[in-house]
């Protein structure tokens, strides 16, 4: 079964007077959602005690949790010192996964910086091998998925082909398909079932069904320009896409059960619920046929 949830609870949660992450699990459950992504995008600013308490409550309320690692991770920074920092952010992310009893760490793989794309990609791949195989051999990745994300800007490493290729390096690496990002990089190409099939077929061919089934999905509409992503929009936008219906149909046809996280501009829970309803409407129709 596909699970749906927001990345952060946004305005609605705070407008109702809620403040703490400890209030999120029950709030989401009552909202009708089943997953949540907590963002450490701007750093790991939480005590591990609070993470443990929150993790218990997410578990009691049957909400699956993913964490987003800091945005400043960059496996292609030529500086060894910065590479050590990147490894540290992954390591801390794993500690927080354990505290939350969560299983997926989403991260942005790399940015080209001054390197040409091929050199940046080669360096990223080499360091992926080094970092994740080491963590794996120490038993630190047991039961976990590390999820490099497809990115929305042309200078970032993270086309879907690149991410899928990087995920071959270790069995714990599975893609985060951010379809808003892919649509931005591809200038609005995600318009029908075939465009989503192209991506998931490539994943199944290269990583197999199980890894594709365990992939993480970010879905939101995103405004883009020639260099890709400009800004996240809400689901009611009619200009940029992508629409969720076609992806929902492919997920059902392929019998895939990923976690779908909505990263709308400011109404993530609201839009995650719209996607959940789209999915179940299509599913119910197919079951009746
Ligand atoms: Zn991200």
Distance CA 166, CA 104 (A): 16
Task: Show the low-confidence residues of the chain (pLDDT under 50).
Answer: none
Range of the domain at 210: 3-288
pLDDT score of 10? 86
Distance 27 CA to ligand 1 centre (A): 24
Distance 107 CA to ligand 1 centre (A): 6
pLDDT score of 37? 98
pLDDT score of 1? 87
Distance CA 194, CA 213 (A): 18
Distance 89 CA to ligand 1 centre (A): 14
- Provide the CA 267 distance to its chain's centre, in angstroms: 17
pLDDT score of 118? 97
pLDDT score of 288? 81
Give the number of domains in the chain: 1
pLDDT score of 106? 98
Distance 249 CA to ligand 1 centre (A): 24
Distance 152 CA to ligand 1 centre (A): 9
pTM of the model: 0.96
pLDDT score of 241? 84
Distance 287 CA to ligand 1 centre (A): 34
Distance 285 CA to ligand 1 centre (A): 33
Say whether the peptide bond before residue 242 is cis (omega within 30 degrees of 0).
Answer: yes
CATH classification at residue 180: 3.20.20.150
Distance 108 CA to ligand 1 centre (A): 6
Distance 239 CA to ligand 1 centre (A): 22
pLDDT score of 277? 98
pLDDT score of 64? 98
DSSP β-bridge partners for residue 153: 228
């Amino acid at each position: 079964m596909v699970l749906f949830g927001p990345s952060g609870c946004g305005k609605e949660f705070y407008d109702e007077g809620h403040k703490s992450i400890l209030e999120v699990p029950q709030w989401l459950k009552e909202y009708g959602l089943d997953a949540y992504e907590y963002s450490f995008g701007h750093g790991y600013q939480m005590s591990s005690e609070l993470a443990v308490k929150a993790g218990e409550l997410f578990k009691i309320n049957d909400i699956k949790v993913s964490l987003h690692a800091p945005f400043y991770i960059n496996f292609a920074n030529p500086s060894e010192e910065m590479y050590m920092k990147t490894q540290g952010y992954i390591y801390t992310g794993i500690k927080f996964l354990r505290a939350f009893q969560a299983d997926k760490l989403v991260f942005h793989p790399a940015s080209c910086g001054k390197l040409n794309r091929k050199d940046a990609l080669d360096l990223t791949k080499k360091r992926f091998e080094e970092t994740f195989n080491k963590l794996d051999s120490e038993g630190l990745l047991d039961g976990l998925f590390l999820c490099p994300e497809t990115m929305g800007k042309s200078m970032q490493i993270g086309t879907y082909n690149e991410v899928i290729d990087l995920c071959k390096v270790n069995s714990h690496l599975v893609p985060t398909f951010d379809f808003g990002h892919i649509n931005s990089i591809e200038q609005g190409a995600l318009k029908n079932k075939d465009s989503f099939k192209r991506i998931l077929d490539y994943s199944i061919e290269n990583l197999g069904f199980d890894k594709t089934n365990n992939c993480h999905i970010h879905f939101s509409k995103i405004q883009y320009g020639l260099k890709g992503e400009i800004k996240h929009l809400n689901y009611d936008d009619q200009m940029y896409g992508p629409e969720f219906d076609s992806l929902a149909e492919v997920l059902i046809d392929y019998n895939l059960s990923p976690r779908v996280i909505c990263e709308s501009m400011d109404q993530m829970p609201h839009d995650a619920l719209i996607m959940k309803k789209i999915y179940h409407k299509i599913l119910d129709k197919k079951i009746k046929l």
